[in-house]
Amino acid sequence: MTTQAEKATTLLSLHHAEQPLILVNAWDVASASIVEQAGFPAIATTSAGVANALGYSDGQYLPWAEMEQAIRKIAQAVKIPVTADIEAGFGSGLQELEATIRHVIEAGAVGINLEDKVPGGGEERPLYSVAEQLERIRVVRRTGEKLEVRLVINARTDAYWGKNSSPAEALRKTLERGRAYLDAGADCIFAPGLRIPEHIRAVVEQLRAPVNILGGAGVPSIPELVKLGVKRISLGSGPMRAAMGTLRRICQETATAGTYNTLSDGAVSHAEMNAFFRG
């Protein structure tokens, strides 16, 4: 059986492989099982997907105990490495962040996303100061070392999602914060909203480290991102929302046409779903 420390080493090595690490984010055990069966080498959770599925808005409104349980169930259900989206850490101080990291590792995850946006207050909430975020990253690194798991830190900066920043200013902030986060112990820099090819290339070349791009509408294709040097591509809450879109279309078709085409087109069979969970 692969140990947790070995899974952490595997996850880190995937960030430096010839081909990029592609992460189709999961929000529960069933979705994680589908991703694993599809042959992907690792799984990332989606904080928004988990929160929405459990009846909460994204943004750390989901109680940590419920998020931890979701991470634990996913990590226990699959054999491949799991990296957990823990938003800004589900705590206001460094001690709370350390406790969160301990729980993440105890749950079986071997990587995390850590945001630099202060939780609460909607989409326009401010970023932590660079100094504050550096200390938070150092706490994460030290906690993993204490527990003898080389946790893979995907340090997220939301410079491109700030409505008051020009693209040039967003690029400057991403580079400034990215360099600092790497120096503090991060393994990969995640810049959601970064989609301009020239900016992607600049971030990759100037940081000289793995960069995570959030895939979706308006973002260069995976082959294009590979040419730009991107090492990690994730889909965030997109897969969960796409699944909800399919459910909406099923509702519309059954309510109007009274047929079952959307329901049956590409559906995983009852037997196959049950097979995921047989011991």
Residue 126: the pLDDT is: 87
Domains annotated on the chain, with CATH: 4-237 (3.20.20.60)
Spell out, as residue ranges, where the chain has pLDDT lower than 70.
121-123, 279
Q: Are 40 and 23 in contact (CB under 8 A)?
A: yes
Phi-psi region of 78 (alpha: psi -120 to 50; beta: other; left: phi over 0): beta
- The CA angle 147-157-171, to the nearest 5 degrees, is 145
Q: Are 64 and 56 in contact (CB under 8 A)?
A: no
Q: Are 133 and 181 in contact (CB under 8 A)?
A: yes
Residue 170: the pLDDT is: 96
Rounded Cα–Cα distance for residues 8 and 101 (Å): 14
Average pLDDT, the chain: 96
Could you give the 3-state DSSP secondary structure of residue 258?
coil
Find the radius of gyration of the CA atoms of the chain.
19
